[in-house]
Structure 1
Amino acid sequence: VPIAITCFTRGLDIRKEKADVLCPGGCPPEEFSVFGNIVYASVSSICGAAIHRGVISISGGPVRIYSLPGRENYSSVEANGIQSQMLSRWSASFTVTSKRLKKTPEKKTGNKDCKADIAFLIDGSFNIGQRRFNLQKNFVGKVALMLGIGTEGPHVGLVQASEHPKIEFYLKNFTSAKDVLFAIKEVGFRGGNSNTGKALKHTAQKFFTADSGVRKGIPKVVVVFIDGWPSDDIEEAGIVAREFGVNVFIVSVAKPIPEELGMVQDVAFVDKAVCRNNGFFSYHMPNWFGTTKYVKPLVQKLCTHEQMMCSKTCYNSVNIAFLIDGSSSVGDSNFRLMLEFVSNIAKTFEISDIGAKIAAVQFTYDQRTEFSFTDYNTKENILAVIRNIRYMSGGTATGDAISFTVRNVFGPVRDSPNKNFLVIVTDGQSYDDVRGPAAAAHDAGITIFSVGVAWAPLDDLKDMASKPKESHAFFTREFTGLEPIVSDIIRGICRDFLESQQ
């Protein structure tokens, strides 16, 4: 229910990051105090700002208000009968929208093939100057427009590097290209030294947080614009960003001439700051003029998820299939304990359409795919399906089950960039050979963890497990002993994943 406010309720009177309010009708336009355009100083009248922006008319109506950080240079613009005023600086800001705007398809979806959380770290130093600063903003605006910003596409925010870094707006503040473009336009030039390293570290630590709008399982990207060269060390900041799982792109503009090289702390600053020194994460433009032709190639890089190596972790870049023994010797109550074991492993990972994938096969003499890697892409759905797996009962043919899983579960995702893992849980001896099918799985690049309970032969477990056997084969006498093995499996997956990335 919207909060009823008066004509003169100010943004600073609403102490929430997001709130729905109801403006009354008949407010006198000439008495409104409004500072700014699109982004308003928090001392402004909410209803006045809403009329100024065209969200409501003089008749009033519902308005959604979003709180924003403070800024400089609030502009004076006449719109919809309201003359806003200039303000050099204020400690907090807000913007207003209508719920009806959410019906716009572009705002609702965006480019689903380019899911990324992107921070543009722009150069606001005296080195770039006001004129090139504006050209830089124009270029960033063109990139943002081509990305296809939307709730289900890329989200963007902006940080300005200067004497002291400043977050201009967060990922959660705007979900349409139109609003982002206006927000970029409103960013004022700060001046001072660029201190790019300081700003990059600040962005990695303070910008990419859940409260700021970061989404789980989505690549985190910072695009750093450097005019000439940085005024401080950015190598350490690049290390910090990588530790936080942030993919650092460097867009360098205008290289230092020979006479200026003595002022550059490290001529290899680009190679030392980017996510990986492989050419993909570095981008150069000769100057800020005629940059339109550089927009599309940069956007293509930002939308190439499989190259975002610094976002890849053992929690979001693995395919894990569970091969679950459903034979008669297990029993229904113990089968539930096996499913709980599977759930406790699965819920640790960042499951999404571009993140970790989970599949499950139950076997006796026969095999049944409970769900494949492509069936579900949320953790909630996966855990619900695991809970509802029906116990089959029957014999034990583990070798056939391994072959079935390799062929029917891993086969369709053979081109996936994720690393493949198979976790086998069984309570007895297989009636068929397990060594050959397990070797074939290893040859296909699948790492196997074998978990035996009760009567499962240790020789079978070792034959199925990947090397080194002692860290991939586990055994417990009782089904209640599965729980302590959960952490061993998770650590093993992360260990093997990290080794595969080296």
Structure 2
Amino acid sequence: TNLFYCFPVFPLLIMTETLELISSCFGYLLNIGKKDIIFLIDGSASTDPTGFAHVRDFLLKIVQQLNVQPDQVRVGVVQYADRVKTDFSLNSHNNKAAVINAIQRLRNIGGRSSELPDAIDYIMKNEFQPFAGARPAVATQHLVIITAGRSTKDVNLYGQLLKSTQINSIAIGAGRGNTQLIQIASTPKDFIPIVSLPNLQTQEVLQQFIARLAGLTPVTLPDGETPCNHLFFTLTTAGKSSKQADIVFLVDGSINLGRSNFEAVMQFINSMIDNLYDDESSLQISLAQYAADVTDAFFLNTYDNKENIVTAIEQVQYRGGPRINTGAAIRHIQNVHFTKERGSRMDQGVPQILMVVTGGASADDSRTASLALQRKGIRVYAVGAGNIQTELEGIASESTTVARSSNFQAISDLVELLMPALTEELKGQKLCVTESLTPRSTNFEQALLLEFGRGFKYTRPLKLNIMDLDYELLDELVSLINQSFIYCLHKHVNMKFFSPHRITL
């Protein structure tokens, strides 16, 4: 006999030959429906840095398999020890690449004890909530606990509490905490014991976890069944897809860099372009250099092939200058480069990306200029070297679009760090395109530029819960948004209008 997995309700099966579910599905996305998944990880001393690295690799393998995007699968990570820390919430990131990047940056928080009850209480109050991105009305809720030790506090009460909710709890444990994890898990099948944290990497654990996440139960069927007779979910090929984007590089050409560092930045840009281009690409590149003012090297529609772009970059000369006005330079990019006349395909829904490479603090307000750009749907990456983290974070769309090296001679090392996020964005969903969107000057000006939560689309977090607005304010808000924008939001964040006054996500 062969081992199969099936839904407990529907007689739809997926064949797996002797527990090879995951290995047979690598290279595919598992479309298992809309899910909100919080990983609650033991970050105490019982999970040392080596053990934590195995947890991190496990999360990466799982997320790579899932259809992570705001309207499908959302992922959050919380650590606990003698305190609780949210690494990122369900709505912190708006694409799979950003989630992967955030997981790669995870480091355990440390601590002497693992207080699981406190962590569960925190999760219930702060993460499985609409303001943090939870969607209990449209997505199944999942808590995944990974621990290497035993909690010093009794977990039975919280196990009963979880089982009384609609949150499905999967518990994965090594060490002495198995009895507690059985109390926490939704069913006995939702407890996955492991000998030690390195066992998270085994095929058996990976496939058990995916099976439980999908709500599957192992059953045996007679020999002779064919592999493709009993699919329960969609396998989507993760093969090549066309990369398309309009990418503008804005480079600091002041004395912050100097001539040799400027040349290193040009090599970095050429390396980025070399990695991004392939036979299927539909990329447009432009470049500008700035100090107190801006010098345009070429525009998005100046060159139509990689070779000419690389040659043009090699011919750019360092200008110099005593100070930089990054804010004015960003506004120039918005008004000159990201325009239809200069080749921008924003009106076709093609991703728009600005990569700012800077070596110092701006003499003007770069943050406000960047926010204005992001409100147009343009993603902003900020790259630099040295002690300018605060400056970079003020420019970038989010923390995962920031990259910094120790010095500019090492900036090419950042290519590997940036490529996963960029590649994912270039293959991602197109921007929402509307015929017209003109925000009016009212007290709802920011609301028109919101993300409905945090991290949905291209803008910085606005902690606005639309359900907290009263009916009169909702009337005014809806009246300010034209029908094309309503359709755009409905399409991309699944807004449903149950009544003229009630908007839910």
TM-score category of the 2 structures, normalised to the smaller one? 0.3 to 0.5
Larger radius of gyration: 1
TM-score, normalised relative to structure 1: 0.37
